[in-house]
Amino acid sequence: AFFPPRPPSYALLRDVRGNIHARYTDGGSQITAGGRLAAFDAHFVRTKRNTEIVVLSMDAPTKNGEDSGDSKKHAITLIVSHGNALDAAMFVPFGRRLRDTLGVNIVLYDYSGYGVSTGSASVRNVYADLEAVVDWCVDARGADPARIVLYGQSIGSAPTCRYAAKAGEAHDAYALLDASRMPDANVGERMRAANEKKNKSNKVAPAPSASSEHATEMCLDAMTAMTPNACLTLGTRPHHQIGGVVLVSPIMSGLNVISGESPGCCAPASVFAACDVFPNHERASKIRCPTLVVHGTRDVQVPFRHGVVIHEALSSGCDDGGDDVEETSNDASERKTNTKQNKRARRGGGGSRAKITHPEPYWVAGAGHDDVYERNPSAFLDRLRGFLESVNHAASLRETMRGDDFANFNAVRDSAERAREAARFNETRDGAEAERAFFLSSLSLGRDGGAPVRVMEMTRDG
């Protein structure tokens, strides 16, 4: 399944300062494209499977009146997972064109066993390679995950879809966890009503049950223990919540590639489905970020239906289930409360399924597997530019909303702390009233088995 070019098209050299430089091993390629390759920064990144992969990166071009740091920060970071039988240096000319035309930070990398990366190509290594590159972009380069777009071409769609699906699963899991931690908006009102009823009856109210007391304490803990980052990012996720995905000539799965354009019941994809690798058509429904699918209508290596099936899978997973609420009571007030809680759970990416609008796919008429760009370069770049601008705009809106949330966070936390103090005060007062009632009852009984005892009040005169 993996066909890394042998020998690699490039070599890495380290200068006296320790910097790594890439150059083509072929003289003709070095003459025609060596300057573009030399403009990329070369790095070694270690993966969790203990391999070192080569990463080539180049920052976005500087805009007028803006320094390089701002251009890099506000630009999209495009991480390219290239196709089979290629290495990162072979993608450099096209990657440089994307960087210059679209104004993006371009990041190319080689899978384990490709180029001069160590290790061997395998399914697990390919997955770990992309995870390491995304982590490196966020940790070492300071990239905003919301401005990271994964670009997967051909077999590169496999790690791309898998990473985006894992990020989608993490998004759904943490959204459900966050919704379960949200305190009930009516807790404080019910506590005040209970205290008023207790004061009117002038009796010591029974202690609340352990379960209700624990539930209230958990709600208050969830509000007062949260930090602004915890509220907004829902904790640390194993996969970053990337901004978008671009799939160019994607594959449905490994066995579907060799099963032909119209596989039947006896095709490898049907007979050996349990052993299939790279099941992109199954993972696409779990992706929770905008995804653009590009495919040639006359693709022979990866038939056109692969792109169609993946886009349909994306569409099947983008519904949020509507506003229907599962009701357990006919009471109108309870239905209203349940609806509000479900809407609050879905707000900000909550709920079990986020509502995502994927762009219309770009079907390149007459294009094959490797010429979806060459068929109509301007149309390809226009579609890609529009998609990247929408991702960047969404990231900017998220930053604005995050600032508003920071401004309101202290007020929400102070309210939760006041509710906690009120709960503790009521608990202390209940205990004091219980002790006072017990003391008065013991005095009324006296030592002689029931004779009343006169209680003298101490005065200042004695």
pLDDT at 265 over 90: no
Write the CB contacts of 270 (distance below 8 Å, at least 6 apart in sequence).
259, 263, 264
pLDDT at 401 over 60: yes
- 344-364 average pLDDT score: 65
Write the CB contacts of 379 (distance below 8 Å, at least 6 apart in sequence).
362
Closest Cα to residue 45, out of 133, 108, 152? 133
Tokens describing residue 334: 């309870």
Q: What pLDDT does residue 456 have?
A: 55
- 368-389 average pLDDT score: 96
pLDDT at 220 over 90: no
| Beta-bridge partners for 459 | none
Higher per-residue pLDDT: 333 or 144: 144
Angle at 229 between CA 227 and CA 230, to 5 degrees: 65
**Measured torsion, CA atoms of residues 430, 434, 436, 442, in degrees rounded to the nearest 10:** 180
Q: What pLDDT does residue 71 have?
A: 72
CA distance 168 to 164: 6
CA distance 54 to 34: 17
Burial (CB count within 10 angstroms: exposed 0-12, middle 13-18, buried 19+), residue 371: middle
Q: What is the pLDDT of residues 162-184, one digit of tens each?
A: 999 999 998 888 777 766 655 55
Residue 448 DSSP class: T
Q: What confidence tier does 388 reach under pLDDT thresholds 50, 70, 90?
A: very high
Find the range with the poorest average confidence among 118-127, 306-315, 329-338, 443-452: 329-338
Find the range with the poorest average confidence among 40-49, 86-95, 159-168, 254-263: 254-263
Higher per-residue pLDDT: 256 or 164: 164
pLDDT at 100 over 60: yes
Tokens describing residue 119: 């290790």
Place of tokens 């088995």: 449
pLDDT cut 70: percent of the chain above it = 65
Write the CB contacts of 48 (distance below 8 Å, at least 6 apart in sequence).
128, 131, 132
Tokens describing residue 376: 């109509």
Burial (CB count within 10 angstroms: exposed 0-12, middle 13-18, buried 19+), residue 303: buried
Q: What confidence tier does 391 reach under pLDDT thresholds 50, 70, 90?
A: very high
By residue count, the chain amounts to: 462
Phi first, then psi, for residue 356 (nearest 5°) are -120, 135
Higher per-residue pLDDT: 68 or 316: 316
Q: Half-sphere exposure of residue 330, counting CA atoms within 13 Å on the CB side?
A: 0
Q: What pLDDT does residue 316 have?
A: 85
Q: What pLDDT does residue 398 have?
A: 83
Q: What is the pLDDT of residues 311-324, one digit of tens each?
A: 999 988 765 444 43
Q: What pLDDT does residue 420 have?
A: 73
- 384-406 average pLDDT score: 84
Question: How far from chain centre, in Å, is Cα 361?
Answer: 23
Q: What pLDDT does residue 233 have?
A: 37
Place of tokens 């294009």: 367
Average per-residue pLDDT for the chain:
78
Q: How far from 387 is each of 17, 348, 390, CA to CA, in Å?
A: 40, 22, 5
Higher per-residue pLDDT: 37 or 73: 37
Q: What pLDDT does residue 327 have?
A: 38
Phi first, then psi, for residue 45 (nearest 5°) are -125, 130
Q: What pLDDT does residue 258 have?
A: 66
Find the range with the poorest average confidence among 158-167, 219-228, 230-239: 219-228
Secondary element (H or E) of residue 127: helix 123-139
Asked if 133 and 77 count as a contact pair (C-beta separation under 8 A), the reply is: no
Dihedral sign for Cα atoms in the order 250, 254, 260, 262: negative
Q: What confidence tier does 304 reach under pLDDT thresholds 50, 70, 90?
A: very high
Q: What is the pLDDT of residues 322-338, one digit of tens each?
A: 443 333 334 444 444 44
Higher per-residue pLDDT: 328 or 406: 406
Q: What pLDDT does residue 348 have?
A: 40
Neighbours of 16 (CB within 10 A): 5
pLDDT at 448 over 90: no
pLDDT cut 90: percent of the chain above it = 51
- Longest pairwise C-alpha distance within the chain: 116
Asked if 56 and 107 count as a contact pair (C-beta separation under 8 A), the reply is: yes
For the entire predicted model, the pTM comes to: 0.70
Q: What pLDDT does residue 66 have?
A: 63
Q: What confidence tier does 426 reach under pLDDT thresholds 50, 70, 90?
A: confident
Higher per-residue pLDDT: 267 or 70: 70
